[in-house]
Amino acid sequence: MLVSVVACSTASPATQTGVDAGGDTSVTYSYPKGFLFGSATAAFQVEKGLTASDWSAWARTKGKIVGDGHPDTGGPDALAHVDDDVKLLVDSKQNAYRFSIEWSRIYPTRESFDRNEPVAEAVAAYDGLITKLVAAKIAPMVTLHHFSMPSWLSDVTKSNEPQGWERPETSTLFAEFARRMAARWGKHVDLWITINEPLNVALGGYVQGSFPPGVLLDVPRALALVKAEARAHALAFDAIHEADTVDADGDGKAAMVSVALHQRTFHALDPNESVDVEAADRVRRLWNLWFANAIVRGDFDDEFDLSYDGPNDKKADPTLVKRADFLGFNYYSDTLVSATRGIILPVIKAAIYQANLETDRPKSDFGWDIHPDGLGVVLDELAPYGLPLIITENGLADASDNNRARFLAEHLVQVGQALQRGVDVRGYMHWALIDNFEWASGFCPKFGFASYNSSGTRTARPSLDVYRSIIESNSLAETRVAAMPAYKSATEFCR
């Protein structure tokens, strides 16, 4: 999930978007054979007992989480309800599930990692999940780092010292972790995500201070972290390919490895101000393209100045180039950018507005604009990299489930339109399968296709039936979308 540097905006450059904003409603979209229709979760957000992770320590620090929530005291306890969650997937005809294998559960101490002595119960738990997914003909997509890191690499009490990806040894240790996981589960897993939203790890931890280690407005430290993540991804990419040579699903390809980027659209806070327009484009290129340029083309922009002509910049760096078999990305909403108003971040030279925007678009419970057209924009933006694309997250906070069906359908229309334009889209993962712990926002935002009660019983929301019907027909008519109830914009936000 994306975090916000600034809570609200003061401009209104955008209008309502989506199928109901115009277009030929007689069109019906179909999806390619083998298209992945799935849902996503992350270990720390849905599991219990991850006491050896930095996020567990962070969440137990009073005041860090809205409502002082913690997955151990209110989460869906996914590993104890594997059958229930697989049933949700099967009943809705989904054929893919993205989840993460938690490093700190497998190796809770540095000693256990160095001796390669994984916790047997942890291995058995993930064995059980993967085995049941495969038996149900649901393709597993495994994420190896989804924000949470072992506390032996990330100490939330020592934020002034290098933590996590800042530590020189972390990248090589992560690559070895990736190698071991691929060796263990590669016979059943072909789709691997190394790092989820690498720029958000830096933004949350070193700019906004809402993620471990909780540093505020240290942009140079954040950008150094992003560079370390790019190097770590490349090492993990190589390690997975060395360890996983088995074609699990019989499609002729073994491991397919990527990251899960977080793409957004960017607009000027004041479209009449040329400096805001320039700032929006600068932030877009840094946020949406820096990491992809590094791991696909090997173009490493050391100074983040978009020039590639600095003393430490590299073009076609052989240690980075072609380190993605596809591009995974998460898409949620729009962003407004100003060069003069708000907290102007150094290097980036802009203020960034992500939530509670003063636009006339409807808002989710998270305060984000509902902006389906933006998905088509970022699909076209990534298409020139020449790799298959998989939407690894897309969803909205919607406790009432009033908006989720239309949101889902309008975004799948964007996928259908992109396919018609020749964009190679291979899959769509809805965030999330089930309500969960939404990081600093605690349990207030409800992103799930299903809710759960204190005993863990899952209850599917009506929007899941809409997803099932789209999957069953492998098609979506714009007439159907146009007939859906209009969005009901949230007025109170989970922030």
Q: Is the pLDDT assigned to residue 214 strictly greater than 70?
A: yes
Share of the chain above pLDDT 90, in %: 93
Closest CA to 482 of 399, 427, 410, 403: 410
pLDDT band at residue 495 under the 50/70/90 scheme: confident
CA distances from 300 to 210, 218, 305 (A): 28, 21, 11
Closest CA to 292 of 255, 327, 335: 327
Which domains can be identified in the chain, with CATH numbers? 19-482 (3.20.20.80)
Q: Is the pLDDT assigned to residue 18 strictly greater than 60?
A: no
What is the reported pTM? 0.96
Strands 256-268 and 191-196: parallel
- Summarize pLDDT for 234-277 with one digit per residue, the tens: 999 999 999 999 999 898 889 999 999 999 999 999 999 999 99
Query: In whole angstroms, what is the distance from residue 203 CA to residue 363 CA?
Result: 23
Share of the chain above pLDDT 70, in %: 95
Q: Is the pLDDT assigned to residue 22 strictly greater than 60?
A: no
Closest CA to 336 of 325, 352, 356: 352
Which of the residue ranges 250-254, 265-269, 356-360, 456-460 would you say has the lowest mean pLDDT?
Answer: 250-254
Query: How confident is the model at residue 13, as a pLDDT?
Result: 41
Query: Furthest-apart CA pair in the chain: how many Å?
Result: 62
Task: Give residue for tokens 């010292």.
Answer: 161
Q: Is the pLDDT assigned to residue 154 strictly greater than 80?
A: yes
- Summarize pLDDT for 106-144 with one digit per residue, the tens: 999 999 999 999 999 999 999 999 999 999 999 999 999
First-to-last alpha carbon distance for the chain, in angstroms, is 13
Give 254-277 as a DSSP string.
Answer: --EEEEEEEEEEEEESSTT-HHHH
Going along 269-406, which residue ranges are E strands? Answer: 327-338, 351-353, 389-393
Closest CA to 146 of 278, 253, 250, 1: 1
Q: Is the pLDDT assigned to residue 218 strictly greater than 90?
A: yes
